[in-house]
Amino acid sequence: MADEEDPTFEEENEEIGGGAEGGQGQRKRLFSKELRRMVYGFGDDQNPYTESVDILEDLVIEFITEMTHRAMAIGRQGRVQVEDIIFLMRKDPAKFARVKDLFTMNEELKRARKAFDEANYDYGS
Partner 1 sequence: PGKGRVTGVSGEGGVVPLDPSPSCLDRIPRDRFEELRKACDEEGELRRQDGLRPRAGEEADSSSRHPEAKRRKVATKGKRPRKRAVDELEAQKMRTLMSSMSQEQLDRYEVYRRSAFPKATMKRLIQTVAGSTVSQNTVIAMSGVAKVFVGQVVEEALDVCEKWGETPPLQPKHMREAVRRLRSKGQIPGSKHKKILFF
Residues that bind partner 1 (CB under 8 A): 20-21, 23-25, 27, 30-31, 34-35, 37-45, 47-49, 51-52, 55-56, 59-70, 72, 78-82, 85-86, 89, 91-95, 97-99, 101-106, 108-109, 112-113, 115-116, 119
Q: Cα–Cα distance between 59 and 63 in angstroms, integer?
A: 6
Could you tell me the smallest distance in angstroms from the CB atom of residue 86 to partner 1? 8
Could you tell me the smallest distance in angstroms from the CB atom of residue 124 to partner 1? 15
- Indicate the residue among 1 and 119 with the shorter CB distance to partner 1: 119
Could you tell me the smallest distance in angstroms from the CB atom of residue 2 to partner 1? 29
Is the backbone of residue 19 left (phi > 0), alpha (psi -120 to 50) or beta? Answer: beta
Long-range contacts formed by 17-20: CB under 8 A, 24+ apart? 19/54, 20/51, 20/54, 20/55, 20/57, 20/58
